[in-house]
Amino acid sequence: MSTEKHTPIKSRVPRPKRAELLLPAGNLERLKTAILYGADAIYAGTPDMSLRTASEFSLEQLVEGVEFAHERGKRIYLTLNLFTHNKDIERLPEFLETIRKVQPDGIIVADPGVFQYLKDNAPELERHISTQANVVSWLTVDYWQKQGADLCVLAREASFTELSEIREKCPDIKLEAFVHGAMCMTYSGRCLLSNFMAERGANQGNCAHSCRWKYKLKVVNKDGSEGVVEIDEDNKGDFEYFLEEEFRPGVFYEIQEDDHGSYIMNSKDLCLMPHLDDYLRIGVDSLKIEGRSKSEYYVAVTTRAYRQAIDAWFESPEDWSPDKYLKELYTLQSRGYTLGFHEGRLTDLAHNYDRSDSIGGWQFAGVVREWDGDDLIFEIRNMLRAGDVVEFMPPGEIDCIRLRLYEFEDSKSGKTLEKVSAGQGQAIRISADVFHNEDKRRLKELLPPLTLARKETILSEERRLQLEMDIRAQDVERGLLTQEAFDAWKEGEEAASLKSVKGRAHTGKAPKLGLDGCCGLGCNGCLMFWNDPKYEKAREAMSRKKMGEKLEKTIAS
């Protein structure tokens, strides 16, 4: 590999003097949304060399995003956190040239070989150790510091006690911890399930999320006399099955199957807002939110909540409370929230055994595209009907601006409509005069372009109770509710309907296996594309593509 000297990569933006709020961005619009709502830094990448093949960034968009961030005093980190196979190593020089074009503030790395390559060929670049490297001890942090790492992202398995000791023993290296987002059932994402079940490399950015699939339950008689007994519609009510763990005798986990599935590996989502003050108090340098595949709404709500919470703690630590910020996070669709390994032990409250879908009482209503004089041009993202209340979420404030709309003026035709649907850039015109409780002179400042809005949705009684169960389970983890009281509520009359709900339709899409599961676009980690003879010509075409590009269509033999 070439060691030719090049112009050094120089970070133009200094780190914030206090804890950095780090947000994901899967495309340019989400990057801009995160910055608008208060992110200090963004992590992003092209789909071919990061752990997100769903990334929508082209190289040109990534350069634009970096310029956008730097102009506003924000930092950008590129992800190069895949585990390299030999074919990936051949592209490292090209990736380094990409870095020189993009001029990021740091690079996130997991593979020691990639780390050394960057150290040799771009020593001036900040090198961050990815969570994929499974750092959970001060000894490992010390090792990476001696190798020249600038920052270590700690694995989610590190408890707060361990994190505190790491901070004490390693004061001269920056530490980063996840505070919010999806959790992986395997060790910090080091997953073999996806490779085995769907031929998609979880550690190369192409995870099939096999842990959240619906699994068929079968029973085999000990003597084998009747072979396999399959649980079906006719006999599923005749059996009850429980899992007893070796280390917790007498504690039984019910394993049951209905049309909605049997979910035995399905973690809830991480949410450390209740203990955010602990992380700020010990001086964690970067607080990271997961979700490069999530929507602008997710990015806006999480950024807004954690930004306001962090600022409030620094303003008055003794008066700080997580409750209003936690309430904001429950406007998101989630699998329920858990403290994960914060206390060192993961309880059964951290998992969902009966569903994998997300629940939330709010929908992404739309986004402010621009101001046309004193009229707000509002792009629709979910259907609005006459009488709906829209909550605008001002950047920099935790309180929303509520507006009930009785009719809608099409932004292009001027026609008055009783309902509007999303799609094809559909937008409505809203006069500043209808915001009766707001100072019209400040309204444009409060609701700049890219401001998001939401609307409340009506939940069925079943889903309302499921959401209530999620909230109560989190209260148990927080010590606000006893396990006994929680169990009593689940056995009570209010929650009784949850037990009687059977035969729910599965909302997820069936996973495509084998060659049917390959889109032929050249995703990293796709075993079908990179190994099957069908895609030999496509692989040749892919080798000629520049960084960040996939094939436009299958070029199969």
Residue 478's Cβ-count burial label (10 Å; 0-12, 13-18, 19+) is: middle
CATH of domain 20-182+268-333: 3.20.20.70
pTM comes to 0.81
Q: Which residues of the chain have pLDDT under 70?
A: 1-11, 47-55, 185-206, 209-233, 235-265, 353-356, 499-513, 524-525, 547-548, 553-557
Q: What is the DSSP letter of 154?
A: B
Strand partners, 379: 367, 427
Our CA dihedral for 415, 421, 427, 431, rounded to 10 degrees, sits at 60
Task: Give me the phi and psi of 417, to 5 degrees please.
Answer: -120, 150
Instruction: Say which CATH superfamily domain 362-456 falls into.
Output: Translation factors (2.40.30.10)
Q: In the prediction, which pLDDT does 385 show? A: 95
Environment class of residue 436 by beta-carbon count within 10 Å: exposed (0-12), middle (13-18) or buried (19+)? exposed
Q: What is the dihedral of CA 160, 165, 169, 175, to 10 degrees?
A: 0
Provide the 8-state DSSP code for 359.
Answer: B
Alpha carbons 272 and 53: distance in angstroms, whole number:
27
Domain 20-182+268-333 shares a fold with domain 362-456: no
Q: Where are the domains of the chain?
A: 20-182+268-333, 362-456, 461-500
Q: Which of 60, 41, 158 is nearest to 107 (CA)?
A: 41
- Assign 3-state DSSP to the chain and report helix, strand, coil percentages, each to 5: 35, 20, 45
C-alpha to C-alpha distance for 368 and 306, rounded to whole angstroms: 22
Contact (CB, 8 A) for 381 and 369: no
Query: What is the distance between the alpha carbons of residues 126 and 108, in angstroms, rounded to a whole number?
Result: 9
Secondary structure of residue 349 in the 3-state scheme: helix
Task: Count how many residues are written for the chain.
Answer: 557
Query: What's the angle, vertex CA 42, arms to CA 195 and CA 370, rounded to 5?
Result: 115
d(CA 21, CA 171): 20
Q: Which two tokens stand for residue 404?
A: 């009930």
